[in-house]
Amino acid sequence: MLLRKVVIATGNQGKLNEYRKILDGPELRVLGLEDVPVAMSEVVETGRSYVNNAIAKAVAIAKTTGIPAIGDDSGLEIDALNGAPGPVSARYGINLRQKHVRSERDRNELILDLMKSIPLPKRTARFRACVALAMPGNIIITREGICEGFIAESPRGDDGFGYDPIFLIPDGRSMAQIGDLKNTISHRGKAITALLTAISSGKQAIDA
């Protein structure tokens, strides 16, 4: 199964940029929602897990557009916070009734405040991503990727998005400090690589 064109089912420009860096090329055209007649507001995350949310996004966009679609759901899991924020990472703070938490920076500051008394060795965390490919005929493939690390004591770096400035990889740099290396070692990069391997194992070309 070879893809010629795919829609990335996300309204997050940072995620879309990463997908384009990893996937876009002469053999595969990567489309964003701005390229197709659908709004992400039409897709509701109803699942309590990454995989359910990723499938919901991919299936909805594939059915609406008639084009293969990749849905993505990911989150930050912090051991000292019992796995939070987890699947609600993009909305963390709101679910805690923290009305002042309105931006990515606010969410980062909230987490740092919650962890201010926790020493670095106990600030273990991981990024987890689930990606789902859905065909218009409802064929679904899912894969997962994980990146282990630590939560920083203060933000570092200016690149990336979301929790990247407060997530440290083992060498001490944050995800916002490593440039394109992120696409190789990140949870999303690993999940996409696994998905590509699964796709390339087939023989049928999808020209939609």
The CATH number for 43's domain is 3.90.950.10
Catalytic residue (choose from 72, 73, 164, 180)? 73
* 158 in catalytic set: no
Alpha helix stretches (DSSP H) within the chain: 13-23, 50-65, 104-114, 182-185, 187-200
Per-residue pLDDT at 204 exceeds 50: no
Please compute the mean of the pLDDT values over residues 100-114 and round it to a whole number: 90
Total domains present in the chain? 1
* Average pLDDT along the chain: 88
With bands split at pLDDT 50, 70 and 90, how would you rate the model's confidence at 40? Answer: low
* Domain encompassing residue 79: 2-206
Residue 136 neighbours by CB under 8 Å, 6+ apart = 62, 63, 65, 66, 67, 68, 208
What is the predicted pLDDT for the residue at 3?
A: 79
Q: State percent of the chain over pLDDT 90.
A: 66
